[in-house]
A and B are shown apart, each in its own frame.
Chain A
Amino acid sequence: MAVGKSPRRKDAVAKVTGRARYTDDLSMPGMLYAKYVRSPIAHGRVLHIDTQKAQSLYGVEAVFTFEDVPDKRFATAGHPYSLDSKHTDIADRRLLTGHVRYQGDEVAIVVARDRLTAEAAVELVQVKYEEYPVAVNAQTALKADTPPIHEGGNVIGSHRFEVGGMLEKAFEEADEIVESHYQTGVVQHCHIENHSTYAYMDDMEHIVVVSSTQIPHICRRIVGEALDIPWGRVRVVKPYIGGGFGNKQDVILEPMAAFLCMKLGGVPVKIELPREECFISTRTRHSTRSNIRAGTTKDGVLKGLDIEIFSNTGAYASHGHAIMGAAGSKSCNLYPRSVIKLKATTHYANIPTAGAMRAYGSPQVIFGIECLMEEAARAINMDSLDFRIKNVARQGDINPLKEKEILSCGMVECLENGRELIGWDAKKKAYKNQTGHLRRGLGVACFSYGSGTYPACVEIAGARLILNQDGSVHLQIGATEIGQGSDTAFCQMAAETLGVSFDNIHVVSTQDTDVSPFDTGAYASRQTYVVAPAVKQAAQELKAKILAYTALMTGQVPESLDLIAGNVVFANRPDKVVLPLDKVAMDTYYHKERGGQLTADVSYKTRTNSPSFGCTFVDLEVDIPLCKVFIKEIFNVHDSGVIIHPQMAAGQVHGGLAMGIGMALYEELLIDENSGYIYNNNLLDYKMPTCMDIPDLGCAFVETREPTGGYGNKSLGEPPNITPAPAIRNAVWDATGVKIDEIPMTPKTLYRHFAKAGLI
């Protein structure tokens, strides 16, 4: 049995020895390098652009400006294509633009024989701008007299629902209504590998794009759309990837690389962003401002939640229109017995474009909700953990928005488990009535998340298995390994169902849209959930073929046979080997009269989406005069159904916790309110926490068995980073008595609040 064990990752040794090749490691003879000419202002129009000097620099092959690119707008969000014309992504971007909408917008691009020449040529491109008023936040972007950033105005989408009853009535039944305003900042993914892509042609009609992408098949479609060429002429190849976290669930460089390559006669052209450019012109997490109200009875029944939220998508739509709808709806699985009303507005602004980032809006929405749950509990003098236990989802509850039953739910068990791990009850008593410079506090927050995007989007996954001559099996999947470990998990699943050892399953880690099965890629914590049925079915089919073939070889009845640990055995006498699999395999390939290569190829559409659950518990110390938070203990407890690979699952949790701590206490892209200027687009000034800042990270799992999961499993990739921020905020409140309703709670933020509260 392979599921539930922690075999060594398929890519572990290749990665730590440096043998794994990433896009930037790949090069071709004659490869050219392209570099964007970026706008130094956040909003305006190009009046005049002169490329002559750049073009005459030795080593420059070409310069293209916004006047040279097709007048074609395309959407970049990495969503599956939608047959419903009302559900398509917003096409608001051209390859280059004369109307610049953020500091860093792309007005021209230089192609040169090497990077340094390209950099030098960029400086020689002379551009004159007419400046427009800049709007960086909701207050200015949504004012009536603010000039629109795109035709059609600055609001790009709104989502509304009211479910579980009427909010007004629910609040009438409440004894206490609490309300607060929350703010979350712009943070970025900071994947280790920056965006990198190159394109080449080795015939007259097909263009090959090699890219660090989470979504090769979607990328193929978008390159086709952007360049107006049939999708079948585009081939996208995804090598090893150094992380994405959603920033590569967007098509950013690929259409441009393909465009340049085609313009230049098919020569290879590479675009790779340095970190500084990656910060400003890929994607970020939406910053939000929300106003949330909650009504509770005196004995702690949460009657209703009223969420109004503005999310800032920046200069271009990307995923903006979809994120708040997706994030808002997930609260309904967390508190399914309460009335929930959501009013979300997403708007443009003159800041870097926000897109998908780990947990797709949920950390922002849940930050507000879980801060307010703390407030509601305190308003009725109830322990906030008990308050949550009383109101969170239980198995059998009906999600009032989706009107679907929650089939597996370990939310209460997660909270009870966390209570023990952190020593909640004893510490709550010990931390009462503290004075002095150093004070301890406890915090908790919980979440629910989805396992994919259904029914908003199609959920399609593909798996192909091939029996090799030596009895090993090759697994090809359309789903992408981006560091999260999916290749390994799929091999475990195949091994489990097929009856071949994990070591004898080889996985093709590279996706190539010309040969890989179709799958929309790594996002929405979907892959283990939606790929499992495809792998399982393919494994069942291949196994049936192997047994049938063995029957043919041996004269046995197929039903009397089984495949266990790489041997065909008698089903009722598993210790008795009929034929080892390699013998069967050799016969399928080389027998002159019978057989043929045994394969199974499955494309599967998942039509369920099970919620996963979990929570963060934190015990921390605040040094009030230093305005610093020191985390003493932190635990995430998850219900992600059956855990496929406990060690990798813990890795996901550790990474998500660290990312959540970054968002809570350290990270923010700082943008000037008046000019849209970006101050800290580098890893020195953008304070992503280091290993010195992150405490020991604890995790635990409550393993439910999800009936719709191929192996009882549910989502885990994104969920770990949803709740650290509200848990930490609640603990800072617990320690200091100061309620901070904004993140990040950097020392500068804490100073402002502590000074206002008279603590320093």
Chain B
Amino acid sequence: MFAIERYNKAQNVKEAVNLLAADPDAKIIAGGTDVLIRLHGGSKEYRNLVDINGLAELKEISEEAGGAVRIGSMATFSEIMDSDIVNRCVPVIAEAVSTVGGPQLRNTATMGGNICNGAVSADSAGALLVLQADLEIQGIGGEREVPVVGFHQGPGRVSLKQGDVLTAFRIKPENYKGFGASYYKYAMRDAMDIATIGCAAAARLDGDKIDELRLAFTVAAPKPIRCEHAEKTAAGKPLSEKTLEAISDIVQKDVKPRSSWRAAQEFRLHLIRTLTQRVVRQAIERAGGKF
């Protein structure tokens, strides 16, 4: 039993936008795997719900003529994991979302929810950040497209206004073609857990040198982040243990993990250094590089 006060099931995206815009307290319920947990926990912020389940246009996963991959915001993690397009073009997304919760959760939770709830630990965020995905959003003022890099504002906060509905993720071909990518979720157990630290990397090589490295972390700062210093350090460097060490040394400048009862800052920093080396190595190997 949940203390839901108002519930509307939207028939299309436009109706969802209008329902949300009409009620400042209304919240979207997508897969429900966060909203229902909060209601169970006694939260009063999720009592007016606009349900966007059943909107088929938000579930589609497709490949555009130009090569861009489009993933509907309401595609579940299971659907993403099973998608041929995702596994062929952007397998790191499948790799990342396969680490979320367990099978039952992945059958209902959506990538849209995972990003819009602003979770610092969102497993899909790392993959989307290194792929520089764009977000298609419908709002009161019409449609817009914004990059995921910069979308997160802080714990639980993203750049969405009341009335906005995220409709799809779009990954341009230049952001995945030629890249090898990898995601590693470090958690206290191998399922049904949130990340202690999540690390994603995408690398493009130029012969035996790193042409471009993109490195992202979750839970390493108050929001999912990209690692500017580490990425700059990597650019143009040869594939060597020394390079990996240099990247993992400098990455401390990019992160700001905190101490909590879940894990101490010192431990998280150790994990960040360790994962930087392991995940970057794997991304490079997947791009065809050899050490």
Contact surface of A with B, Cβ cutoff 8 Å: 114-116, 119-120, 123, 274, 625-627, 666, 670, 672, 679-680, 683-685, 687, 689-693, 746-748, 751, 755, 760
Contacts and interface: CB of A to CB of B under 8 A. Distances in A.
Contact of A692 (B3, B191, B196, B267): B191
Given A115-B1, A116-B3, A679 B261 contact: yes
Interface in B170-190: 186, 188-190
A755 to B, nearest CB: 8
Contacts of A672: 261
B230 to A, nearest CB: 18
B188 A690 contact: no
Given A114-B1, A116-B3, A679-B261, A684 B193 contact: yes
B274 A690 contact: no
Given A626-B274, A670-B261, A687-B188, 10 more contacts: A114-B1, A120-B3, A627-B267, A689-B189, A690-B189, A690-B191, A693-B189, A746-B188, A747-B196, A760-B270
A684 B189 contact: no
A690 B190 contact: yes
Interface in B93-151: 102
A748 B263 CA distance: 7
B160 interface: no
B42 interface: yes
28 contacts: A115-B1, A116-B2, A116-B3, A119-B3, A120-B3, A274-B40, A626-B274, A627-B267, A666-B188, A666-B189, A670-B261, A672-B261, A683-B192, A684-B194, A685-B262, A687-B189, A689-B189, A690-B102, A690-B189, A690-B191, A690-B192, A692-B190, A692-B191, A693-B190, A747-B188, A747-B196, A747-B267, A755-B270
Contacts of A746: 188
Interface in B254-291: 261-264, 267, 270-271, 274
A660 B112 CA distance: 39
Contacts of A748: 263-264, 267
B75 to A, nearest CB: 24
A747 B188 CA distance: 7
B192 A684 contact: yes
Contacts of A690: 102, 189-192
Contact of A626 (B2, B186, B191): B186
User: Which residue of A114, A119, A748 has the most chain B CB atoms within 10 A of its CB atom?
Assistant: A748
A691 B3 contact: no
Smallest CB-CB A-B distances: 8 pairs: A692-B190, A692-B191, A690-B191, A625-B274, A687-B188, A679-B261, A751-B267, A693-B189
Interface of B: 1-3, 40, 42, 102, 186, 188-194, 196, 261-264, 267, 270-271, 274
Contacts of A680: 261
Contacts of A683: 192
A691 B104 CA distance: 14
A115 B2 CA distance: 10
Contacts of B262: 685
A140 B264 CA distance: 25
Nearest to A626: B274
Contacts of A692: 189-191
Contact of A119 (B42, B190, B270, B274): B42
Nearest to A120: B3
A747 B189 CA distance: 10
Contacts of B267: 627, 747-748, 751
User: Which residue of A666, A683, A684 has the most chain B CB atoms within 10 A of its CB atom?
Assistant: A684
Contacts of B3: 116, 119-120
A626 B261 CA distance: 19
Nearest to B262: A685
Nearest to B3: A116
A86 B193 CA distance: 48
Nearest to B102: A690
Contact of B191 (A114, A116, A693, A760): A693
A683 B194 CA distance: 12
Nearest to B186: A626
Nearest to A115: B1
B123 to A, nearest CB: 14
Contact of A116 (B1, B192, B271): B1
A417 B201 CA distance: 47
B53 to A, nearest CB: 23
B101 to A, nearest CB: 9
Contact of A687 (B2, B42, B193, B270): B193
A670 B2 CA distance: 28
Contacts of A625: 270, 274
A666 B271 CA distance: 18
Nearest to B42: A119
Contacts of B270: 625, 751, 755, 760
A760 B194 CA distance: 24
B33 to A, nearest CB: 11
Nearest to A680: B261
A691 B191 contact: yes
A270 to B, nearest CB: 13
B227 to A, nearest CB: 19
Contacts of A687: 188-189, 193
A114 B267 CA distance: 46
B218 to A, nearest CB: 16
A73 B265 CA distance: 46
A119 B43 CA distance: 12
Contacts of A123: 42
User: Which residue of B40, B190, B194, B262 has the most chain A CB atoms within 10 A of its CB atom?
Assistant: B190
Nearest to A747: B188
B234 to A, nearest CB: 20
A542 B41 CA distance: 56
A520 B261 CA distance: 41
Contacts of A691: 191
Contacts of A751: 267, 270
A679 B274 CA distance: 27
Nearest to A672: B261
A757 B189 CA distance: 24
A574 to B, nearest CB: 53
Contacts of B192: 683-684, 690
A687 B189 CA distance: 7
Nearest to B37: A684
A174 B59 CA distance: 73
